[in-house]
Amino acid sequence: MSGFPYAADLGPFDVYRRNADLPACRHGLVLTLSQLIYNGVVKENLPNVLDTVAAALNFQQSSSLRVSVGANVRDAACYGLWALARRYSTSDILQLPYGRATSENCTRIQSLANDLVVTATLDPDGNIRRGASAALQEMVGRHPDQVRHGIPLVQVVDYHAIALRSKAMLGVAVDTSEIDPTYWHVILDGLLSWRGVGSLDGRSRRQAADAVGRLTLHSGAEFPTAFETVRDQLLRTPYEEVELRHGLILALAEVVQAMLETNTQGAHIEKVPTHYLPKDEISALWHVFYSGDGTPSSPRADVTLDGKKFIISSPSPDLRLEAICRLISILASSLVSDASNTEFAISSKPSAADLHMCIEVIDLGLYRTDPIVISAAADAAAGIFRILDPTARERLVRSWVAIIDNGSLRRKTDQLGVIAALGAVFQHVGDRVVGSSPMSEMAGSGITGHQGVHQWLGSVHQDWQPASPMQILIIDALLTRLRLEHSKDSTEHRCAILGSLTSGVLQCRGQDYCPAQSYMLMLPVVTDDILDTIYTSLGDYTINEKGDVGSLVRVEAINAVAMLLAKDLLNRSAKQKFVGRICGLATEKLDKVRWRAWNCLQPYLRTFGLADELLE
């Protein structure tokens, strides 16, 4: 039985690639080999069989409908490695010759353990992750002292911990990488393969990119390695492979973000001296999808110049725009991580041509309909605003406000991105001129503290708000558009405007200098019109052929009230007014409205004297 012919005749696994029934054929072959391993009948041909089974652990193919058809093959491979660990002794496995390239300091058992670690933490199929975890546990238990840090490894790559893919990728994989540098490198390679940034679905690619960033953040000494690995693979990837480039650009952005967090917050900074950060190479990323000299970086680039107009390459322009906008946002943040200390900036400011290209790409993203793309473009707009000069900021804001005012776009949905962008850039639009406010009148008045300042402003200058002229322009444009859309029963626009007010205006605090106290006072940028608009939206019960679409507006208004309460932006009478309406919404029959209203009230029940009545 040791000369079992099937094992000898199989040869390299790739010879079956042209078979029409390849996945099913491979599944049967690998399962047969795994059963032979379990029965212990393969001895002389064990090296070939083991190479075949180990290669099957990484098998993946997609059908014409973009559905994965390789899961059964990988499942059979997990069974084969589990059987190998049980049936053969440590000496039998260690003396096997290598059939594929591996590290010189890596034994055959360690190489198989590395493959199982990647499969257990990154595979898209839950049954395969658990099968690989079981095989790894068997490998560590039956072959002691052969797997690096074997006991801590199986404790982290637990059978139950890897049940959920997001937790396995973002939590277990990162924790495993901290056990030993070997696992850090193999997990990074796995994240940059079809299991990670090359996944078929966009959500998995985004999670993989996030995992690459966390992997980089938790191993500061490997910053250059992670950066160069991701960048080089991106540069080698053809522009036609949209999904892979989408994941790689997102991963590159997360690596830069990890460098930025480490450099500014000081986490692991003792591991990475500042001069080790590849500043020049990070600055070159402004050209990773486009060449800033006015010509495309290749005949098929992500962003191309058609005459005087920038266009995004097809197919899947939404994926390209999302990834590029995310990278622009991170690169812009790397310039202004600490305005008072330029040593913390990890890249150089882009040229005027690069900034123009970025603004054009952001505009393209704002005019899409995918919420993910709009959100990424709005974040990129907020980041790029921080490095634009005041004149460019004002020009761009006025162009966006004009779009909202005249509504001359081809599609009404094109305004949703502009609305989101105005909220995102609100706090970066401009600052007040020092000495141009009622604060100068407080000098020598003896008023101290923020509370005294607020009371004084409310009694003497009730109409004054610490907002710049451009911020006031944005507020007026949003509120005017909200009233117009209310008359047109456009629920989608009303929700977008309320969301923009909540995430942008209500979170912004205007700056003004207080001569009496010699410090910059932070005051909320809230007007009576904003409060009235939010209060009116709490009672929006618009009903059309889709049903109670006004509930979407009510939920956004509740979110705005929650922000007002969290920031303590309401006086006592306004709190009573809003809380009364929220209490009514907390008794609605719609679950989403009732639950959100209750969550809004819960932290403040004792403050409003409602705890005894509602918590009994």
451-505 tens-digit pLDDT = 444 444 444 444 445 567 888 889 888 998 888 776 666 788 899 999 999 988 8
Most confident of 263-267, 443-447, 552-556: 552-556
Specify the residue for token string 């064990």. 46
- Both tokens of 48, joined, read 């070939």
| Residue 588 counted as domain residue | no
| Residue 342 counted as domain residue | yes
Same domain, 312 and 435: no
Asked if residue 152 has pLDDT above 90, the reply is: yes
Domains held by the chain: number:
3
- Both tokens of 88, joined, read 């053969």
pLDDT per residue as tens digits for the range 230-289: 999 998 988 888 899 999 999 999 999 988 887 665 544 444 444 456 677 888 888 777
Q: What confidence score (pLDDT) does residue 602 get?
A: 85
* Residues 292/356, Cβ–Cβ less than 8 Å: no
Q: What confidence score (pLDDT) does residue 381 get?
A: 93
Asked if residue 342 has pLDDT above 60, the reply is: no
Specify the residue for token string 């379990």. 38
Q: What confidence score (pLDDT) does residue 314 get?
A: 64
CA atoms within 13 A on the CB side of 379: 18
Band of pLDDT at residue 407, cut at 50, 70 and 90: low
- Both tokens of 268, joined, read 């692991």
| Residue 1 counted as domain residue | yes
The fraction of the chain above a pLDDT of 70, given in percent, is: 74
Same domain, 412 and 336: no
Q: What count of other Cβ atoms lies within 10 Å of the Cβ of residue 468?
A: 18
Give the CA radius of gyration of the chain: 30
* Residues 417/368, Cβ–Cβ less than 8 Å: yes
Range of the domain at 272: 196-388
pLDDT per residue as tens digits for the range 92-111: 898 887 655 455 568 899 99
* Residues 382/424, Cβ–Cβ less than 8 Å: yes
Same domain, 155 and 232: no
Asked if residue 519 has pLDDT above 90, the reply is: no
pTM over 0.75: yes
Show Cβ contacts of residue 343 under 8 Å, excluding neighbours closer than 6 positions: 274
The fraction of the chain above a pLDDT of 90, given in percent, is: 39
CA 119 – CA 124 distance, rounded (Å): 9
| Alpha-carbon torsion (74, 77, 82, 83), positive or negative | positive
Same domain, 284 and 378: yes
What number is the average pLDDT over the span 146-161? 94
Q: What confidence score (pLDDT) does residue 430 get?
A: 63
Band of pLDDT at residue 172, cut at 50, 70 and 90: very high
Same domain, 8 and 22: yes
Q: CATH number of the domain at 26, please.
A: 1.25.10
Single out the residue in 388, 404, 432 at which a domain terminates.
388
CA 358 – CA 385 distance, rounded (Å): 11
Terminal C-alpha separation, the chain: 76
| Residue 231 counted as domain residue | yes
Same domain, 468 and 353: no
| Residue 463 counted as domain residue | yes
CA 272 – CA 278 distance, rounded (Å): 11
Same domain, 168 and 266: no
Most confident of 346-355, 376-385, 453-462: 376-385
Report the range of poorest mean pLDDT among 160-169, 202-211, 293-302, 373-382: 293-302
- What are the φ/ψ torsions at residue 558 (nearest 5 degrees)? -65, -40
CA 93 – CA 204 distance, rounded (Å): 35
| Residue 77 counted as domain residue | yes
Q: What confidence score (pLDDT) does residue 408 get?
A: 52
* Residues 540/554, Cβ–Cβ less than 8 Å: yes
| Residue 474 counted as domain residue | yes
Same domain, 13 and 147: yes
Most confident of 42-56, 200-214, 287-301, 303-317: 200-214
Same domain, 211 and 145: no
Same domain, 401 and 384: no
* Residues 559/502, Cβ–Cβ less than 8 Å: yes
Same domain, 140 and 252: no
* Residues 615/605, Cβ–Cβ less than 8 Å: yes
The Cα angle at residue 341 between residues 337 and 347, in degrees rounded to 5: 50
CA 582 – CA 535 distance, rounded (Å): 10
CA 531 – CA 574 distance, rounded (Å): 9
Q: What confidence score (pLDDT) does residue 353 get?
A: 80
Residue of 393, 326, 324 lying closest to 361 (CA atoms) = 324
pLDDT per residue as tens digits for the range 556-601: 999 999 999 888 888 888 888 998 899 899 998 899 999 999 999 8
Same domain, 241 and 358: yes
Mean pLDDT of the chain: 79
Phi-psi region of 143 (alpha: psi -120 to 50; beta: other; left: phi over 0): beta
Single out the residue in 172, 188, 204 at which a domain terminates.
188
- What are the φ/ψ torsions at residue 304 (nearest 5 degrees)? -120, 160
Band of pLDDT at residue 204, cut at 50, 70 and 90: very high
- Both tokens of 37, joined, read 């391993």
| Residue 610 counted as domain residue | no
* Residues 318/267, Cβ–Cβ less than 8 Å: no
Asked if residue 7 has pLDDT above 50, the reply is: no
Q: Could you tell me which residues are beta bridge partners of residue 514?
A: 519
The helix or strand, by DSSP H or E, that contains position 523, with its residue range, turns out to be: strand 519-524
Single out the residue in 543, 558, 573 at which a domain terminates.
573
